[in-house]
Structure formats: structure tokens, C-alpha cells
Amino acid sequence: MKTRLPEHGPLETPQYWRTLEERLETPEAQRAAHDEFLPGAAPGTFDDVHGLPPSQSGFSRRDFLGLVSATAALAATVACDRKGQGTVVPYTRRPVEVVPGVANYYASAFQEGRRVYPVLVKTREGRPIHLTGNDEHPGVKGKTSPRTMADVLRLYDPDRLRAPKAGGRTLGWAEAESQLHAVLTGAKATGKPVLLISGAVVSPTRKALLADLKAALPTLEHLAFEPAAGDAAEEAAKASYGQAVDLQPRLAKAKVILSLGADFLNGEDPESLAAWGAKRRLKNAHEAINRLWVLEGPLTLTGTNADQRVPVAPSRLGAVAFALAKELSTKAVSLPAGADLSAIAVGVPQGVDIPAETWSNLVKDLQHAGRNAVVLCGAQMPAEVHQAAHLLNAMLGSEAVAVRAAEPLATVKDLEGAVQGMAAGHYAALIFWDVNPAYAFPRAAAWQEAVAKVPFRAWIGQVEDETAAQCQVLLPENHWLENWGDFTTEHAEVLQQPTIGTLYDTRQGEDVFLGVIRALGGHAPASYHVYLQGRWQQTLPLGTTFEQALHDGLVTSESKAATPAFKGASVAAAAQHAAASKSEGLELVLFPGFATHDGRHANNSWLQETPDPITKMTWDNPVSVSVQDAKALGIQEGDFVTLSLEGATLRLPAVIQPGQAKGVITLALGYGRTTGGVAKGVGANAYPFMGLDPTRANVRGGARLAKAGGKKDLSRTQSHHRMEGRDIVRSLTMDEFAHNPKGHYHMPELVSLYEDQTFPDHKWGMVIDLAACVGCSACVVACQSENNVPVVGPEQVARGREMHWIRIDRYYEGELENPKVVHQPMLCQHCDNAPCENVCPVNATNHSPDGLNQMAYNRCVGTRYCGNNCPYKVRRFNFLEYTAYKTEPEILVNNPEVTVRPRGVMEKCSFCVQRINDVKIRAKGDGRAILDGEVTTACMAGCPSDAIVFGDLKDPKSKVAQLVNASRAYRVLEEVGAKPAITYLADLKNPAVEGGPHAS
């Protein structure tokens, strides 16, 4: 190394120096003299060629060596083609509860409207990632609804409000609360009313808290607003029982079920689905089966599962139901005291197309089943239909429905009253708690005007919505997975506990109100947790602790709610109303969206992309038109139409819905939101069509439909709806099941030139009972959550690139006006002779020794040949990069046990191999064999009707091994010779046959 020394005069005494800096006596050098390994304390001579001071050139020998080693390190890492995915660091201080790599499970509960879902929350490294039903709960028994399962995604919604806000400015809680407290203190002093609008109150402790709040602030008015609950049901309950009620079907006790537009099989009610499944998973034709009669206007999921379905417009349903009551009353089924049906004629009402034979069968069925019959009415149906259903249940003495007193909900009439109060300057303040009336109130303009007249508006919620836009103070609320709470259900008192510390500076709404009580001079504990625990300590049964209750998530107790008595006197008016009810023009039925419900789930992309079980639409709410009306109006699938009703007009795409009653059009609520990164602009808002008469708010006559020109490329996951006569879904009547269970299908013996594969230890297989499967799509959401299935958006779905590993195929058969409908879950069949495996040029997909068709994502080049060669078309290709650009918080929902797939890679159902291996490892650790039923796939665990059974086919005693030999068993496309590992059990229908057995 060449060194040029600075000019220096001769030194008198020899001075030895180590570095030039030391020689020049810079402060750094003096420090370095004492600290040999000071960072950067290398001799600066290396760079003297440039004549720069070393500190400026910054190129030291250490840097040089660093570069050399960096080169080596780069060379070593160059073989890995994945880009850096962040740093993996161990915990510096590990929380006691968290063991890396081990999942924790917490019991909690989710509330949606009046319905409560006790859940078990799976957390990994402190993050809730997957929800299932609470297996300890005697009602739901480990099952839950698709929307509940998907709600874990809402915890990580990037749109969540992360800190309080006022006037568009982020501020601290103290400041935000002080604004609220000041207004409420003022209101208390002046005696001006304060209006609190919240969702349904099902929680006893929340109810108590609201009572305490009312005590502290006597001018408080409270409305529980649930726009999708069905105002008509509320009104009918008040009429029939004199109070609000909650109806819970107990289908286990039902032999005959009559649905009047009730969609109790749509996945919302896991208890009903479980009972349904139990009655349908028949081993032989001698086992008892129930019979489902459906009279409805729209085609609902329940209607598709009916044994006998008759399309009837909702406006005529009341007349039909009362006629049934009248007919039954003539057949020794006595009317309740005071019930007067003189307005009703005997027989099928005029203008309703029910064949006489069908009618008499229905009457006989109900009559014979007696207390084992139940009549269920859809929440959206007009009030008189509900009243007729209440009457019929009372007449039959039905044991298959539990009627319990409930907290009343505000109907549209109550809200209309509030709007008038607001407009009149009645209120000092408005508090919105987890509700969005600015979006869901039918008269949006009037609402906006009225709200603006209230001097102070506060909003408590998670994602800024249409209502938040009108409020001065926004208080960010926890997601329920960060909350404390409790709920009353029929069989148990259920607890909600946080499963993660709050992600942001949020609080739960109850804590805000406790603060209000304290600010108003009342007594309240420091937190809702303490408040809740205090209440629970008083009511806990002996021998139970609060900790035990939290562990279980519940304390079993039979509901203490009173069973209200049916009021016979209410019948006469309703019957008159029903007899007179007619509909002019087209009848618009507004029902909550399958995915979005009342709009609260609209920002959840998992749900937006879950296909509607009937229309198979995603990301949209097209208007469904009956086949007859579509023909008359010249409407084709996907055509834009103008829907208008009393001044409200929308331009929407139309889909033609087979099975929908003539003259009925349906539209889903919960779309057309104007806020939220996902929800904004998806579909159209149907709330302006809602009526202001609560007895028939969701069924509106006089709608007009006209072609608007243009066509939409529908984001639909299924575009062909006929089976083309192929042997894909087998469906048997009970008669066929008894006499000819293999049906007319003949499968010749399949011979192969090659030896069969052998499976030394296990051979995983699945059986799907199509008789129990209703098509609710819970499995789809469960799989999405378990396997990090990406969401692709409406444009990609329209292009045919949805990624769901399991889909529900829905086929129509027979006449278009009232077709037979079948559902079939379709997922990777894990074929023994998988056609996808031998065509992969790089062996990325191959067979495991335990019968799994596995994908090595890292090896996949993306030729897509496997996708072509899959007869079931269950392979999914990452056409674009769907995952890599995601950041926190979105990625926190990912299951760490499942690889996130990059662009250009094929993927598909893995039979939840991570769960299989988890059990395998556990069993090996315990030194035992795997038990039957120990391995559950996400779809199986999520299936509320237990239609899916998974297990080891090598174990002759396993449930799955026994079911594959059942008389209803068959394999789809067996003739292709792929030897699928999934066996389907033929669907069963139990139609009434003349002279055949009636339930008794």
C-alpha cells in the first residue's frame, strides 16, 4: 500500500504512532487508541490514493473486508430465488401464553343481529387466525356460520380506525372522550334527550350497562337497530305474542317442516343445519327422515333442499298459510282460543298455483305430524305470514320451535320517529354504536338532513362508514376478538373474551359508556372486564369459577326467558289482511346478502368472493328475475336493467333465476357501500327500496323493471347450470333408496394395465353426503381461512380465475319454473391415478405414500398442464401476484403452517395436509396410532351439517371406510379411471307420494 505522509516538520524526539489520525491527534484517534475495536476505527490509509480524509471516503479495510464477505454471502444466497420476506427474530421477552409454533385456542363468541355464535378461536403467535364453533356449546356443537368464520379477517382490516378522530383530526382518547362527556353533561343538565342507536342487545351485561347508563343519564333514549332482522317479524311478534320474541327452530324434533319463505338452511343457523344433517345422513331407507315443504317466492337455499317446493309470491303466502290453518281446523286440529278465521275460504286461495294433490298432501302431513311439525316463516315475509306461522305452530302445538321473549328491536317506523325528532331539534346528542343507519335507512336524504340538525354526533365503530362521515367525534372500537362480553343463548350463557391485545389505540364501546357513567357522576368500575366479571361472580353456579367459564366459553343453563303465550285474538285482523293482500306489478323482495348480511360484512373480501349459493355471484348484487318475467321483458343474463319503485331507481345487472315465482324479483341488501376499501362501489344499495311500513318493509309491490341497455360481465363462478344428463350428482327419492339404491347407473368394472398403488400406512379419503349437504358454503370460507386462499377480485372472477380450493357446484334439473336443485362440494379428489401427476414435467405434483395428491409449490414452473388434465377442474392457478404485495395488518391473518403461493404457481386442495401432519406428529409423540376422527380438514370441521367425513381408508373400522361402501356411495367421473379418493353419497329427496307414508 502506498502511503503519502502529510508534510511535517522534523520532530525533535521520535514519536511512534499507529495511525495517521493518532499522529494528527484527532479526537477520534485518541479514542481509538484506547478502544481497539471501535467501529470504523480502522486505519484510514487505504484510501490515501484519493487524497481524501479517511472519514470522508469511508472506505476502510473493514469496509473492504465487509464487501468481500458480502459478496460471498450474496453468492451463497443467490441460489434462493425467493425475495427476502422480512427478518425472523426470536422474542426478546416471550409472553407466557405464546409458544412459537404451537396454536392456542380461546373460547369466545360473535354476535350478528340477534344471533350469537359461540366460537373457538385458534391463535398462532398471538394472532387469531381461524374460527370454529365452540364444541362445548350444547347448541352449536363446534359449528358456526360462514360469516362468523370470515369475521377473523375483519380484525386485520387495514381500513380500521386506529385512533380517535374529531373533525378529521386524530387525537387522544382523553381529548375525544372529554368532548363527548362535556356534551352529555350538558344534556343531563338541560334535560335534553340523547339518542343512542346500537345493534341488537343480546348480552345481559350490556343490558345492565345500558340500564346503568340510563340511570346516570336519564334523558337517554336507546334504539336497537338491525336493518336485516326483518321488521315484519318484529311487528308480527308484537301482534301474536304481545312482545318481541326470538324463534329458534328445534329441527331434531321435526318430522315435517313447512317453510314459508324461511331460509333456515342458509348457513346462518348452525343448530338447524346440524339437526337437518342428522335427519338426512341415512344409512338405509328404514331410518327416519324428515320432510321439508317449501312455499316461497324467491329461490332460497332452503328451497333448493326442499322435498317439495311450490313457488308462491310472498304477498300471497299469508293467504296460503291461513288457508292451511283453516283447513287444519276443519280436521280436528283445534284453533287457539279467540282465533277467528272467518275471512279465509277453505282450500287453495285464488290466484295461487298449488296442485290439489300437493295441497292435500301438505295438509295431511302437517295434520299427522302434529307436534312434530313446524312452520317457519322467513324474516322478510310480510307480517301476516309470520302471524299465520305463529298460529299454525300454536295449533299444531309444535315442539320443534322454541319461542323466547327477546329484547325488542327498532323497526323502520321507530327510526322514522327518531328522524322526525332529530329534524325537530329534539335531541342534544346522537351516539351511534356499531350501526350504520346513514347507509341502511331507506330515506337517506331525509336522514342526512335530520342528523345535521343534532348539535353533537358521536360514532363508535371499527371502520369509518357512511354514518361516521356525519359525526364530529369518532371513537374507534375494538374488533370483537379484542373484546369482553357475554350473551344469552338458549342452552348456555356464553362469554366473549379477548384473544389478542388491541392492535391499535381502540377500546370497546362498553368502556366508553363506563367512562360516560363516571363522567356523569355515577359509579362504574375501571373497565368493562371488571364490570363483567363482577356481574358474573354473582350469578355463577356453585362450583364454577369465572376462569372455568372463560376456559369453556360458557356456562350451561337453560334459558330463563319466558315463553310468551300466543294471542288468538290477533288472528282475525291478520287473516283479513292476508286475504286482501295482493300485489300489483312486480313484487320486489329485499333480503340480506348472503355475504354482506345488512352491509356490515361488505368490507370483508373473503365474503365478497364467496359465491352466493344460489346465483353463484360474487362481488355484486344483481337483481334476480324469474324465468317467465325475463322472457316477457326480453331480459337476458347479465343485461343491465332499471329497477324503479316509488321514486327510487337503480341500474343493475340482472340474472335469471329458475324457480323464482312469476312476478317476483329479488335483490340483496348490504351492497353499494360508499366507504371501505373493499366495500366501496361493490354492487348497488337496495335500502332505498325498503318500505316505511314495517309490516311489509322487505316485500314491495309495484316495482318496475326495464332493460337499460348494456351487459355486464358477471363475476360468477359458475356459468353452466345443467348437468347435461351426466352422472355427476346422483339424487334418489326415498322410494328409490329403498328399492334401487344404485339407481340406473351402471359402472362397468374398470381394468387397468398397471398395478394399483399401494399405501403402506394410511390412505386418506373423504366421504361427502350430498343428502346432508345443503350448499351453505361454510366449507368454502373455512378452507379460505385455513389455507390462505387468496382473494382475486371481481374482474378476475369474471375471467374465471377464482382461487377457492373447494367450490359448491349447483345444478338445476327439470322444468325452469321450479327446477330440482342439487349441490355438490367439489374439491381435489386426490385420485390414486391422478391425471395431473403424470403430466407435470417437473414432478411438482405427485402422490404421497398416504394417498395425498400433493403440490410442491416451490417446484412448480406453472405449465398449467395439470389444470388441463384434471377432469374435475379443481386446480387453481395464480395467474397474477395475489399475495406478495400484501402487508401488515392483512398478512397477520395468514396461517403460518400453509405456504403463501406466489404468482405463476398452481395450487389446490391439500386435504389440509398441515392438520394431518400435526396429528401424526402428536400421535407419534404419544406413541399411539391415529384415532379415527382425530384428523379433521377445515371443510369438515366447518361443515355445520356434518356432510363431510374424512379419515383413513386403510382403517376398516373408520367411519369413512364404512361409508365408502354404503349403498348410496358413488364416485364422480369414475369412468375416467382416475380412482378418486372422495366418495359421494347420493342426495336424498323425500317427496310426498299419494298413498305413501305421511309422517305420524
Partner 1 sequence: MRADAAHLPGDIPEGLIEPSLTVGKVTPGSLDDQVLAFPETRPPKQWYIGLAITLTALFIGLGFIGYTFVTGIGVWGNNSPVFWAFDIINFVFWVGIGHAGTLISAILFLFRKRWRNAIARFAEAMTIFAVMCAVIFPLIHVGRPWVAFWLFPYPNQRALWTNFRSPLLWDVFAVNTYFSVSLMFWYLGLIPDIASMRDRTTSKLRKTIYTVLALGWRGAASHWQHYEKAYLLLAGLATGLVLSVHSVVSFDFATSVVPGWHMTIFPPYFVAGAIFAGFSMVVIVLVVVRETMQLKNLITMRHLDVMNKVILAMSCIMGYSYMMEGFTAWYSMNEYLHHGFMNIITGTYGWAGWLTISCNIFIPQILWFKKARASYFWMIFVAIGVTIGMWFERFVIIVISLHQDYLPSAWRIYKPTMTDFGILLGTFGLFFTLVLIFARVLPVIATTEVKAILPDAQPSHHGDDAHV
Partner 2 sequence: MADVNRKPMMDRAAALVAGPFLLGQRALSLVFQPDQGAPPKTLKEAPSRITVTPPEHAIKRRG
DSSP assignment string, 467-525? TGGG-SEEEEBPPGGG--EEEE-SSEEEEE--SS--SSS-B-HHHHHHHHHHHTT----
Q: Which residues pair with 813 in a beta bridge?
A: 820
Residue 47 sits in the site that holds partner 2 (CB under 8 A): yes
Q: Given the complex with partner 2, which of 82 and 720 has the nearer CB atom? A: 82
Q: Given the complex with partner 1, which of 242 and 977 has the nearer CB atom? A: 977
Residue 991 sits in the site that holds partner 1 (CB under 8 A): no
> Can you tell me whether residue 811 is helix, strand or coil?
strand
Task: Pick the piece of the chain touching partner 1 (CB under 8 A) from 365-373, 392-400, 527-535, 854-862.
Answer: 854-862
Start-to-end CA distance of the chain, whole Å, equals 105
Residue 141 sits in the site that holds partner 2 (CB under 8 A): no
**Least distance CB 48 / partner 2 (angstroms):** 12
Q: Given the complex with partner 1, which of 67 and 842 has the nearer CB atom? A: 842
Q: Given the complex with partner 2, which of 398 and 499 has the nearer CB atom? A: 499
Map the footprint of partner 2 across residues 170-189, applying CB under 8 A: none
Site string for partner 1, 613-642 (x = CB under 8 A): ------------------------------
Residue 101 sits in the site that holds partner 2 (CB under 8 A): no
Q: Which residues pair with 73 in a beta bridge?
A: none
Q: Which residues pair with 639 in a beta bridge?
A: 711
Rounded to 10 degrees, the C-alpha dihedral 792/794/795/801 comes to 50
Map the footprint of partner 2 across residues 56-95, applying CB under 8 A: 56-57, 59, 67-68, 70-72, 74-76, 78-79, 95
814, 801, 841, 847: which is closest to 828 by C-alpha? 847
Residue 348 interacting entry, from partner 1, partner 2, none, C-beta within 5 to 8 Å by type: none
Which amino acid type is present at position 677? Answer: G
Q: Given the complex with partner 2, which of 56 and 284 has the nearer CB atom? A: 56
Residue 863 interacting entry, from partner 2, partner 1, none, C-beta within 5 to 8 Å by type: partner 1
Residue 904 sits in the site that holds partner 1 (CB under 8 A): yes
**Least distance CB 625 / partner 1 (angstroms):** 22
Map the footprint of partner 2 across residues 865-904, applying CB under 8 A: 887-889, 892
Task: Pick the piece of the chain touching partner 2 (CB under 8 A) from 411-419, 494-502, 511-519, 601-609.
Answer: 494-502
CA–centroid distance for 625 within its chain: 26
Question: Omega before 889 cis (within 30°)?
Answer: yes
Map the footprint of partner 1 across residues 689-728, applying CB under 8 A: 718-726, 728
Task: Pick the piece of the chain touching partner 1 (CB under 8 A) from 652-660, 777-785, 808-816, 921-929.
Answer: 808-816
Residue 126 sits in the site that holds partner 2 (CB under 8 A): yes
Residue 107 interacting entry, from partner 1, partner 2, none, C-beta within 5 to 8 Å by type: partner 2
Residue 503 interacting entry, from partner 1, partner 2, none, C-beta within 5 to 8 Å by type: partner 2
Residue 880 sits in the site that holds partner 1 (CB under 8 A): yes
Residue 881 interacting entry, from partner 2, partner 1, none, C-beta within 5 to 8 Å by type: partner 1
Residue 7 interacting entry, from partner 2, partner 1, none, C-beta within 5 to 8 Å by type: none
Helices 528-539 & 509-519 angle (0-180, nearest 10): 90
Residue 839 interacting entry, from partner 2, partner 1, none, C-beta within 5 to 8 Å by type: partner 1
Q: Which residues pair with 403 in a beta bridge?
A: 247
**Least distance CB 499 / partner 1 (angstroms):** 36
Strand pairing class (473-476; 664-669): unpaired
Instruction: Return the residue of 978, 981, 992, 999 that touches partner 1, per CB under 8 A.
Output: 978
* 376, 257 Cβ separation under 8 angstroms: yes
Instruction: Return the residue of 906, 943, 966, 992 that touches partner 1, per CB under 8 A.
Output: 906
Give buried/exposed letters for 304-327 (b at 16+ CB in 10 A, else e).
Answer: bbbbbbbbbbbbbbbbbbbbbbbb
* 932, 789 Cβ separation under 8 angstroms: no
Q: Which residues pair with 669 in a beta bridge?
A: 592
Instruction: Return the residue of 500, 561, 573, 884 that touches partner 2, per CB under 8 A.
Output: 500
Other Cβ atoms less than 10 A from the Cβ of 273: the count is 28
What are the CA-CA distances from residue 361 to residues 256, 258, 356, 732 (Å)?
A: 11, 12, 9, 20
Instruction: Return the residue of 20, 29, 41, 120 that touches partner 2, per CB under 8 A.
Output: 120
Instruction: Return the residue of 33, 103, 633, 839 that touches partner 2, per CB under 8 A.
Output: 103
If you count them, how many residues does the chain have? 1000
Q: Is 807 exposed, middle or buried (0-12, 13-18, 19+ CB in 10 A)?
A: buried
Instruction: Return the residue of 50, 582, 903, 922 that touches partner 2, per CB under 8 A.
Output: 50
Instruction: Return the residue of 838, 924, 993, 996 that touches partner 1, per CB under 8 A.
Output: 838
Residue 853 makes CB contacts below 8 A (sequence gap 6+) with 828, 829, 830, 831, 834, 836, 837, 845, 846, 847, 908
Task: Pick the piece of the chain touching partner 2 (CB under 8 A) from 123-131, 234-242, 822-830, 844-852.
Answer: 123-131
Residue 125 sits in the site that holds partner 2 (CB under 8 A): yes
Q: Given the complex with partner 1, which of 505 and 713 has the nearer CB atom? A: 713
Q: Lay out the sheet containing 308-311: strands in order across.
A: 308-311, 291-296, 256-260, 373-377
CA–centroid distance for 791 within its chain: 15
Residue 871 interacting entry, from partner 2, partner 1, none, C-beta within 5 to 8 Å by type: partner 1
Other Cβ atoms less than 10 A from the Cβ of 650: the count is 20
Residue 926 sits in the site that holds partner 2 (CB under 8 A): no
Q: Which residues pair with 474 in a beta bridge?
A: 165, 459
Q: Given the complex with partner 2, which of 421 and 889 has the nearer CB atom? A: 889
Q: Given the complex with partner 2, which of 92 and 350 has the nearer CB atom? A: 92
Give the separation between CA 824 and CA 814, rounded to whole angstroms: 17
Residue 905 sits in the site that holds partner 1 (CB under 8 A): yes
Residue 501 sits in the site that holds partner 2 (CB under 8 A): yes
Residue 973 interacting entry, from partner 1, partner 2, none, C-beta within 5 to 8 Å by type: partner 1
Q: Given the complex with partner 2, which of 67 and 929 has the nearer CB atom? A: 67
Other Cβ atoms less than 10 A from the Cβ of 212: the count is 18
Instruction: Return the residue of 835, 889, 896, 991 that touches partner 1, per CB under 8 A.
Output: 835
Site string for partner 2, 519-548 (x = CB under 8 A): ----------x-----------------x-
Residue 303 sits in the site that holds partner 2 (CB under 8 A): no
Residue 606 sits in the site that holds partner 2 (CB under 8 A): no
* 954, 761 Cβ separation under 8 angstroms: yes
Residue 97 sits in the site that holds partner 2 (CB under 8 A): yes
Residue 877 interacting entry, from partner 2, partner 1, none, C-beta within 5 to 8 Å by type: partner 1
Residue 142's φ and ψ, nearest 5 degrees, are: 85, 5
Q: Which long-range contacts (CB under 8 A, 24 or more apart) does 343-352 make?
A: 343/572, 343/575, 343/576, 343/578, 343/579, 344/319, 344/575, 344/578, 344/579, 345/579, 347/323, 348/320, 348/323, 349/316, 349/319, 349/320, 349/323, 349/579, 351/316, 351/582, 352/312, 352/316, 352/319, 352/320
Q: Which residues bind partner 2 (CB under 8 A)?
A: 47, 50, 52, 56-57, 59, 67-68, 70-72, 74-76, 78-79, 95-99, 102-107, 120, 123, 125-127, 482, 497-503, 529, 547, 550-553, 887-889, 892
Q: Which residues bind partner 1 (CB under 8 A)?
A: 81, 718-726, 728, 796, 799-801, 807, 809-811, 824, 826, 835, 838-843, 859-865, 867-869, 871-873, 875-881, 902-906, 972-973, 976, 978
